[in-house]
Amino acid sequence: MLPSNSFDSEFSVSWTHRLRFTDSSFNDGTLDTLISTLSPLKILPVIDCGVTTNTAFMDDVTNWLANSVFETSKPRIVEGGEVSKNSMRVVDQVLEDINTNNLCRKSCVLVIGGGAVLDAVGYAASIAHRGIPIIRMPSTTLAQCDSGLGVKNAVNYFGKKNFVGVFDPPFGVVNDIRLLSSLDNRHWCSGLSEAVKVALIKDETFFEEIEQQSAQLLNRDLTAMGNAIQKSAILHLEHITNGGDPFERLNARPLDFGHWSAHKLEQITNNSLTHGEAVSIGLVIDIKCSVALGLLDNAIADRIVNVLQSLNLPTSHPALSDPALLQGIEEFRQHLGGELTLLMLKGIADPVDVHALDFKLVKQVFNELL
């Protein structure tokens, strides 16, 4: 019992996370219907400069803005890629636009871009007036499969990844497959490692589909890609909204499977690897660790490696010889803020948590892969 001068009061706050799939967001009513649900007073469009090279898509944006029944501001074009969240530049640009255009909490930011731009713009929208609703249109395979669904909004600070940020779910996410058409082959495919990841921890049938469809996926078949993205995005969404820990208060982070080494590999290679590529290598490392720990059959590990290779994803890297890579384990433990919790596999869609990983075993896995 609490003493008489103590008062504990519980309360909760609810959100709806809205996910849409389309190949024609501006013309088939997908976006208009979603925006009408929100009924914003004003809309500020923010567009990743990488998207502006997709002329067919940009024509749609321009037409939509010219004819929209909603009150829209002049679109802000921002720099793309990790650089957009390495400083406060993009955040400040969006805050300036929110201020200049008098957006309020009943307004809306509509952001079209890759994961880093979604992060930086989402952060700006989350802190302006304690949260302006945002609709995200992820423009990369990676962001449509995974990061665009997240409830995190963050930028890098003190040279540290996502040091400054908030949890704030988007009002909605529109995955328009046509945004991917302007991606080069490398970025078209590399985000699929996150689809493989979520299939490996949650859905064996989905893993088999990726395995069977790998040639079509590699050959830019829109139907195959649309299916893979839809399944990956929904599995990520379900984990966030039904997994019991949307704001990451617990120690386990199943969606970070393969990520302790992936984050470190990106850093060691000065981001010459895409996040998707680093995750592919990271998955192989943790799968091989699962084998070395006696948890997983080696034949299954080889099957997974084959699927990643069939998607043109890297499964090894010279940086595996860098002693700094092992520090990724300790940094991941620090990131969790307590006990180390790493997900390993006993089989496909059969994960298990481990709380220690012997350095000698990991080094052996690195040597095997080099």
- The nearer residue to a second copy, 143 or 189, going by C-beta atoms, is 143
Q: Among 49, 77, 237, 340, which residue interacts with a second copy (rule: CB under 8 A)?
A: 237
Is residue 118 a contact partner of residue 54, using CB atoms and an 8 Å limit? Answer: no
- C-beta of 55: minimal distance to a second copy in Å? 25
Torsion sign, CA atoms 159, 112, 62, 183: positive
Give the pairing of strands 152-157 and 134-138. Answer: unpaired
Q: Among 99, 185, 219, 298, which residue interacts with a second copy (rule: CB under 8 A)?
A: 99
Is residue 78 a contact partner of residue 93, using CB atoms and an 8 Å limit? Answer: yes
- The nearer residue to a second copy, 130 or 360, going by C-beta atoms, is 130
Q: Please report, as residue ranges, which positions from 187 to 226 form the binding site for a second copy (by CB under 8 A).
A: none
Give the range of 136-144, 151-159, 191-199, 311-319 binding a second copy by CB under 8 A. Answer: 151-159
Q: Which tokens is 176 given?
A: 């328009």
Q: Among 68, 86, 87, 162, which residue interacts with a second copy (rule: CB under 8 A)?
A: 162
Show the site string, 309-338: x = touches a second copy by CB under 8 A, - = not. Answer: -------------------------xx-xx
- The nearer residue to a second copy, 74 or 105, going by C-beta atoms, is 105
- C-beta of 120: minimal distance to a second copy in Å? 13
Q: Which residue from 84, 94, 97 is spatially nearest to 155, judged by alpha carbons?
A: 84
Which burial class, exposed, middle or buried, applies to 58 when counting CB atoms under 10 A from its CB (0-12, 13-18, 19+)? Answer: middle
3-state secondary structure 219-273: CCCHHHHHHHHHHHHHHHHHHHHHCCCCCCCCCCCHHHCCHHHHHHHHHHCCCCC
Q: Among 81, 246, 254, 347, which residue interacts with a second copy (rule: CB under 8 A)?
A: 246
The reply on whether position 152 binds a second copy by CB under 8 A is yes
Q: Please report, as residue ranges, which positions from 36 to 65 form the binding site for a second copy (by CB under 8 A).
A: 41
User: Residue 80: enclosing H or E segment and its boundaries?
Assistant: none
Q: Which tokens is 27 given?
A: 């013309």
Give the range of 161-169, 206-214, 317-325, 355-363 binding a second copy by CB under 8 A. Answer: 161-169
Q: How far apart are CA 356 and CA 73, in angstroms?
A: 52
Please report, for residues 91, 93, 95, 132, 150, the alpha-carbon distance to residue 129 in angstroms, rounded to integers and kept in the order given.
14, 15, 10, 7, 21
Give the range of 71-79, 211-219, 242-250, 268-276 binding a second copy by CB under 8 A. Answer: 242-250
- Furthest CA-CA distance within the chain: 69
- C-beta of 313: minimal distance to a second copy in Å? 27
Residue with tokens 């069977």: 212
The reply on whether position 102 binds a second copy by CB under 8 A is yes
Show the site string, 105-144: x = touches a second copy by CB under 8 A, - = not. Answer: xxx------------------xxxxxx-------------
Q: Among 12, 53, 55, 67, which residue interacts with a second copy (rule: CB under 8 A)?
A: 12
- C-beta of 14: minimal distance to a second copy in Å? 4
Q: Among 82, 211, 221, 238, which residue interacts with a second copy (rule: CB under 8 A)?
A: 238
Q: Which tokens is 271 given?
A: 């981001």
Q: Which residue from 244, 242, 186 is spatially nearest to 218, judged by alpha carbons?
A: 186
Q: How far apart are CA 112 and CA 121, in angstroms?
A: 10
Q: Which residue from 256, 279, 248 is spatially nearest to 342, judged by alpha carbons?
A: 256
- The nearer residue to a second copy, 136 or 288, going by C-beta atoms, is 136
Q: Note the residues at the interface with a second copy (CB under 8 A).
A: 5-22, 30, 41, 95, 99, 102, 104-107, 126-131, 152, 154, 157-158, 160, 162-168, 230, 234, 237-238, 240-242, 246-248, 334-335, 337-338
